[in-house]
Amino acid sequence: MKKTVLAIDIGGTNTSIALVNNNGEIISRSTIRTQDYSLFDDFVNAIYSESKKINTANIELAGIGIGAPNGNFHNGSIEYAPNLPWDGIIIISEVFKSKFNLEVVVHNDANAAAIGEKKFGAAKDFSDFVVITLGTGLGTGIYSNNKLLLGAHGFAGELGHCIVEKNGRKCNCGRLGCLETYASVTGLKKTAFQLLKSGEYDSQLIADKLDEISGLQIEKLASLGDSLALDSFELTAQYLGEALANLSAILDPQAYFLFGGLANANELILKPTKYYFQKNLLQIYDGKTQIIKSQLPNNDAALLGAAAGIFDFLKR
């Protein structure tokens, strides 16, 4: 089997491409600006040229793995991704296939993260686990019995859109009280801003608008002992821990891997999340499930996940 694939991480601002080998080593890479290409065909052509440039040794590729927001494995598509320049449903796997004449696999970001964790990260020896991506939103990639759980229509793993608070915070999906409005970097910021406006804290945090707060700022203040920042993490972790306890009652996994901006706060988020998980857990699951920080390198995780997606597909 050929040992190198082209990995593509499509993001709202930039799209990264890389040659990745079977050991998860990035051989070479490049980046283009996603927003420069209003036509999808131009975008694919630009990736094609870049892929030639970074493949100076002319390595024969085994296939192409793509991670994209709203990527759908079943359809090989991107579907209504709000932050990308192309509207509606695009069957991107077909376009890439005909341009490159290679097998193409598409996954959404969270599923790519889960496949990446399984192939290159800390989940190698786990059959049943969930990767939770905690960034702007909350995404989940689920493994059950050593297989990615895709769902009937490729839309499984939207834990971030479970409603956890009746008439709660407004979510981008149009509904109220979705988990990701609380348990995500955005949720952390909203909680901090809410606590700030309550006037009940003597905090270093100063902001007139939500946009003036960053997750990193809250993390830094929390690490300095700022009680508003610490309570923001605590409340965020409470939502996350309760949600994971409920998720255990559905999936009974061995581990949860936390990934992304919020996970980078390490014990600030891990410790209270474990506490609220344990506090809400049904007894039969006691001591059976770990909550661990993802072991994928932050900057390369999306590319490694995309690469793992095509490796995983080719070995079937």
Residues that bind its own copies (CB under 8 A): 79, 127-128, 140, 142, 144-145, 147, 149-159, 161-163, 173-175, 242, 245-247, 249-254, 280, 282-285, 288
CB closer to its own copies out of 39 and 282: 282
CB of 146 to its own copies, least distance (A): 11
- What is the nearest approach in angstroms of its own copies to the Cβ of residue 83? 16
How would DSSP label each residue in 46-90? HHHHHHHHH-TT-PPP--EEEE-TTEETTTTEEE--TTSSS-SEE
CB of 81 to its own copies, least distance (A): 12
CB 227, CB 148: distance < 8 Å: no
Least Cβ distance, residue 162 to its own copies (angstroms)? 4
Nearer to its own copies, 17 or 245 (CB): 245
Residue 140 or residue 181: which is nearer to its own copies going by CB? 140
Q: How far is the CB of 117 from its own copies (least distance, A)?
A: 16
Q: Closer to its own copies at the Cβ: 216 or 249?
A: 249
Tokens 């052509």 found at:
45
- Three-state DSSP state, 101: coil
Give the nearer residue to its own copies in terms of CB position, either 31 or 70.
70
Strands (E), the chain: 4-10, 14-21, 26-33, 64-67, 71-72, 77-79, 89-90, 104-107, 129-134, 138-144, 147-148, 255-259, 290-293
Q: How far is the CB of 186 from its own copies (least distance, A)?
A: 17
Name every residue whose Cβ is closer than 8 Å to that of residue 277 and which is 6 or more positions away in sequence. Answer: 241, 242, 244, 245, 248, 289, 291
The 10 Å CB-count burial string (b at 16+, else e) for 268-286 is bbbebbbebbeebbeeeee
Shortest approach of its own copies to residue 289 CB, angstroms?
A: 8
User: Among residues 101 and 146, whose Cβ is nearest to its own copies?
Assistant: 146
Calpha distance 93→40 (Å, rounded): 12
Nearer to its own copies, 19 or 150 (CB): 150
Instruction: Using alpha carbons, list the distances in angstroms from residue 107 to 28, 245, 313.
Output: 22, 26, 11
